[in-house]
């Protein structure tokens, strides 16, 4: 697997003429590091130092990076300025976070973006081999999927966007909106943090490219492309273990001693206008003004990591923050009490975790945020389990962390009230809310996120089940194989295959022509005809019981061999659960609000309380995947009101056919028109003739339009040599 992202997981630093490497910071680098470390793969990206400064040392850098499975893309200072500082951070970043007032539309920046994306695609194409999987990350590289696809049609390409995808009304402001969408659609799978972003993306694709979608699968184009939500998690154990370690306990104790018996509120961000820092400060100011009783009893630890320091908006913002912190401390502080402890720097991991552990309240209130990992890191590091998370409803994380105190960060008085509420929440409630969030954050780790994305991407590579039309040449071969064979088995579905659908089931009784056809086919010792139907056995027996054919009723619950009596098929043990549970759990992770109920002989997946948009997408998918698995394991899938239940089902058409397939046959033909016939097709060994009647997707090798064509084919076989 090859990961492609703007930055490599290590950053090159020049010190006294030699190049050193340090781990890169940020959610993406941290999150994917474990994925990269786990496999044999490569990581393609910029090493974080301008090529101009490296002159002559490129080869050495390449060599050092190769040792850690990294492939550098060298960028000049100008590239970095225009592609990264320019298009990525002054066009895409503000626009996608709904800061349209900060977005610039500079053609020079766009040209640089295209040029650098080309360079990333070329560097990736150089190391990728057919059959590889390439996972492109984030908004800096949205053109790479299509550029790479043009070079390497045979690689599997995934793309993940770590920031929001804005609603169409905002996205359409971009002059190069089509190019961006076309770039992304070069991927097989385009992933986002939330279902809202998926919806926005699909809206834009529809509006701008005229391509609709069915359950997230984009219509048209040369290859199927899927858009889907994969909420990113964190390395839970890393935070948990560090927070429980003696070092963190000591450090947390030290912080607490400094603070005294005051409550600690924590705020941690990268400096960015999307993070709602000014609004947060204003709310804290208002809170102190309106709640004099809390003065001297609370301290806000306010951590900002410098970022994009060369961009004007960021320098401006920094100035405003400095001023505001100064004003609040001046206004409310007293001798011995500084309301805000302000740290403008990156802090080491252990210290960050100790702060998370020590904090009574975490204020995570971005105006917009793709996900926000700080919220999850705080939850993971809460060893005592009674901290309160105040979370913006505009962070992707809010969709998973519903037990947080959710706020609208633009509503400053509301935010001030939420601070008060968080400080006064009774212990029992704090513990209960935190416990639930911890369970979820612990289960939905960054590893699970990557595994889910890659599993879905892997599944994209499966050949499409599109049967070929049974045209003259194939029909001739089929007829020749039939004629040549000494023994032949014909497995025929009834409704929709041998007879067209009638207004009521009772009206679909066999006509004279069909009965004659079937009895001619069944004549003699070389042929065995089995009608494999979902109908009840009484009807089948009444309509066809007098013919010399085998019968399968109720999708395989009952079988009657030629000349025999009806027999019920047997039930099986419950080992199936271990195979089905992981699938249901995977969908649980991806459908906020769904729950899994385990019964003695069944697994029930309830989605009554699930987020509606998520379940609209997920349920049909789960249904589809379950169908395949259920067919393999002979399970029964039942659908109730907002519940999908899987039971140890003893039957399906494929299993029922197995008793005939135990014998040797020179020729096997199966025909059917609906889903239940897929079980039959799936169960047949290679070399059998399989024909789907009507429709387009099927496991069958061939297709015929409808019952008249089926009858014509059967008549041809019956008319041949017996």
Q: Give the footprint of ligand ADQ on this chain (CB under 6 A).
A: 25-28, 30, 162-163, 232, 268-270, 303, 305, 346-347, 352, 369-374, 377
The pairs formed by 83-87 with CB atoms below 8 angstroms and a separation of 24 or more are 83/109, 83/112, 83/113, 83/115, 83/116, 83/117, 83/140, 84/6, 84/140, 85/308, 85/310, 85/311, 86/112, 86/113, 87/112, 87/113
Q: Cβ 365 to ligand ADQ, closest distance in Å? A: 12
- Toward ligand ADQ, which CB reaches closer, 28 or 92? 28
Residue 476, classed as helix, strand or coil, is helix
Distance, first Cα to last Cα, the chain: 56
Encode 349-366: b = buried (16+ Cβ within 10 Å), e = exposed.
eebbbbbbbbbbbbbbbb
- Toward ligand ADQ, which CB reaches closer, 163 or 189? 163
Q: Rounded distance, CA 273 to CA 111, Å? A: 26
List the alpha helices (DSSP H) in 384-471: 412-424, 427-443, 446-460
Q: Cβ 644 to ligand ADQ, closest distance in Å? A: 30
- Toward ligand ADQ, which CB reaches closer, 317 or 704? 317
Which candidate, 501, 505, 484, places its Cα nearest to that of 667?
Answer: 484
Classify residue 536 by burial, with Cβ atoms within 10 Å: 0-12, 13-18, 19+.
middle
In DSSP terms, 601 is beta-bridged to: none
Q: Phi and psi for 699 in degrees, rounded to 5?
A: -80, -10
Q: Cβ 304 to ligand ADQ, closest distance in Å? A: 7
Q: Rounded distance, CA 452 to CA 583, Å? A: 11
- Toward ligand ADQ, which CB reaches closer, 25 or 423? 25
Residue of 272, 360, 493, 677 marked catalytic: 493
- Toward ligand ADQ, which CB reaches closer, 362 or 489? 362
- Toward ligand ADQ, which CB reaches closer, 113 or 449? 449
Q: Rounded distance, CA 678 to CA 204, Å? A: 35
Lookup result for tokens 């984030």: 138
Sign of the CA dihedral running 260, 264, 270, 272: negative
Q: Rounded distance, CA 636 to CA 569, Å? A: 14
Q: Cβ 108 to ligand ADQ, closest distance in Å? A: 25
Q: Rounded distance, CA 59 to CA 290, Å? A: 62
Pairing of strands 643-647, 18-23: unpaired
Please count the other Cβ atoms lying within 10 Å of the Cβ belonging to residue 327: 12
Q: Rounded distance, CA 299 to CA 279, Å? A: 17
Q: Rounded distance, CA 528 to CA 548, Å? A: 9
Q: Cβ 200 to ligand ADQ, closest distance in Å? A: 15
- Toward ligand ADQ, which CB reaches closer, 401 or 671? 401
Q: Cβ 717 to ligand ADQ, closest distance in Å? A: 59
User: Both tokens of residue 495?
Assistant: 């409704």
Q: Cβ 321 to ligand ADQ, closest distance in Å? A: 14
Q: Rounded distance, CA 494 to CA 680, Å? A: 13
Q: Cβ 194 to ligand ADQ, closest distance in Å? A: 10
- Toward ligand ADQ, which CB reaches closer, 369 or 673? 369
Residues 6+ apart with CB under 8 A from 564: none
**Residue 369 Cα distances to 162, 165, 198, 269, 301, angstroms:** 9, 10, 15, 11, 21
Q: Cβ 567 to ligand ADQ, closest distance in Å? A: 57
User: Both tokens of residue 8?
Assistant: 């490599």
Confirm whether 269 is a catalytic residue.
Answer: no
- Toward ligand ADQ, which CB reaches closer, 231 or 649? 231
Residues 6+ apart with CB under 8 A from 253: none
Is the separation of the CB atoms in 544 and 518 below 8 Å? yes
Q: Cβ 30 to ligand ADQ, closest distance in Å? A: 6
- Toward ligand ADQ, which CB reaches closer, 217 or 350? 350
- Toward ligand ADQ, which CB reaches closer, 153 or 306? 306
- Toward ligand ADQ, which CB reaches closer, 197 or 681? 197
Q: Rounded distance, CA 482 to CA 722, Å? A: 10
Please count the other Cβ atoms lying within 10 Å of the Cβ belonging to residue 40: 6
Q: Cβ 404 to ligand ADQ, closest distance in Å? A: 15
The crossing angle, in degrees rounded to 10, of helices 707-719 and 512-522 is: 40
DSSP string, 190-213: EEESSHHHHHHHHHHHHHHH---E
**Residue 399 Cα distances to 474, 593, 611, 614, angstroms:** 53, 10, 9, 10
Please count the other Cβ atoms lying within 10 Å of the Cβ belonging to residue 152: 19
Q: Cβ 162 to ligand ADQ, closest distance in Å? A: 3
Catalytic residues: 493
């Amino acid at each position: 697997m090859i990961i492609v992202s703007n930055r490599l997981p290590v950053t090159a630093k020049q010190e006294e003429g030699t190049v050193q490497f340090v781990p890169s910071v940020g959610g993406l680098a941290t999150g994917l590091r474990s994925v990269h470390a786990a496999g044999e793969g490569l990581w393609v990206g910029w090493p974080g130092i301008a090529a101009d400064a490296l002159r002559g040392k490129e080869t050495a850098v390449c060599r050092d990076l190769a040792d850690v499975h990294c492939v550098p893309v060298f960028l000049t200072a100008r590239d970095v300025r225009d592609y990264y500082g320019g298009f990525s951070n002054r066009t895409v970043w503000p626009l996608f976070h709904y800061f349209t007032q900060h977005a610039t539309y500079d053609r020079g920046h766009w040209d640089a973006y295209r040029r650098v994306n080309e360079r990333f695609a070329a560097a990736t194409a150089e190391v990728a081999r057919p059959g590889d999987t390439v996972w492109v990350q984030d908004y800096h590289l949205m053109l790479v999927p299509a550029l790479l696809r043009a070079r390497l049609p045979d690689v599997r390409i995934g793309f993940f966007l770590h920031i929001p995808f804005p609603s169409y009304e905002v996205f359409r402001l971009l002059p190069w909106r089509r190019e961006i969408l076309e770039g992304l659609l070069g991927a097989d799978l385009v992933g986002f943090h939330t279902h809202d972003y998926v919806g926005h993306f699909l809206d834009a694709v529809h509006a701008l490219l005229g391509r609709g979608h069915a359950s997230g699968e984009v219509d048209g184009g040369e290859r199927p492309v899927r858009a889907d939500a994969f909420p990113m998690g964190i390395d839970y154990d890393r935070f948990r273990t560090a927070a429980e370690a003696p070092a963190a306990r000591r450090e947390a104790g030290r912080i607490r001693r400094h603070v005294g018996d005051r409550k600690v509120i924590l705020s941690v961000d990268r400096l960015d206008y999307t993070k709602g820092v000014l609004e947060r400060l204003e709310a804290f100011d208002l809170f102190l003004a309106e709640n004099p009783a809390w003065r001297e009893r609370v301290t806000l630890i306010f951590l900002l990591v410098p970022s994009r320091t060369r961009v004007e908006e960021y320098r401006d913002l920094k100035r405003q923050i400095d001023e505001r912190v100064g004003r609040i401390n001046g206004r409310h502080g007293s001798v011995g009490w500084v309301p805000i402890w302000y740290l403008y720097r990156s802090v080491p991991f252990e210290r960050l975790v100790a702060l998370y552990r020590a904090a009574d309240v975490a204020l995570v209130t971005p105006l917009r945020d793709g996900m926000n990992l700080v919220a999850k890191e705080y939850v993971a590091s809460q060893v005592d389990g009674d901290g309160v998370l105040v979370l913006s409803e505009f962070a992707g994380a809010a969709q998973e962390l519903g037990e947080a105190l959710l706020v609208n960060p633009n509503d400053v008085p509301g935010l001030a009230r939420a601070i008060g509420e968080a400080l006064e929440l009774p212990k029992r409630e704090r513990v209960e809310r935190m416990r639930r969030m911890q369970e979820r954050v612990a289960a939905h780790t960054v590893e699970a996120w990557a595994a889910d994305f890659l599993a879905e991407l892997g599944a994209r590579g499966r050949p499409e089940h599109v049967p070929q039309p049974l045209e003259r040449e194939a029909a001739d071969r089929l007829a020749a194989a039939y004629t040549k064979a000494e023994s032949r088995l014909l497995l025929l579905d009834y409704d929709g295959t041998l007879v067209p659908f009638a207004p009521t089931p009772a009206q679909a009784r066999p006509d004279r022509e069909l009965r004659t056809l079937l009895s001619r086919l069944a004549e003699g010792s070389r042929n065995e005809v089995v009608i494999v139907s979902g109908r009840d056995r009484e009807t089948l027996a009444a309509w066809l019981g007098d013919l010399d054919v085998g019968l399968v009723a109720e999708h395989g619950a009952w079988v009657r061999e030629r000349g025999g009596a009806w027999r019920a098929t047997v039930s099986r043990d419950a080992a199936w659960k271990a195979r089905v549970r992981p699938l249901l759990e995977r969908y649980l992770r991806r459908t906020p609000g769904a729950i899994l109920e385990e019964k003695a002989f069944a697994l029930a997946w309830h989605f009554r309380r699930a987020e509606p948009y998520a379940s609209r997408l997920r349920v049909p998918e789960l249904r589809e995947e379950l169908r395949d698995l259920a067919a393999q394991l002979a399970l029964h899938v039942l659908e109730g009101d907002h519940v999908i239940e899987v039971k140890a089902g003893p039957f399906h058409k494929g299993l029922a056919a197995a008793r005939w397939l135990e014998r040797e046959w020179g020729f096997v033909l199966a025909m059917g028109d609906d889903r239940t016939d897929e079980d039959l097709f799936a169960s047949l060994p290679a070399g059998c003739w399989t024909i789907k009647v009507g429709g387009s997707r099927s496991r069958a090798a061939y297709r015929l339009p409808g019952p008249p064509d089926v009858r014509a084919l059967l008549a041809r076989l019956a008319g041949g040599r017996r």
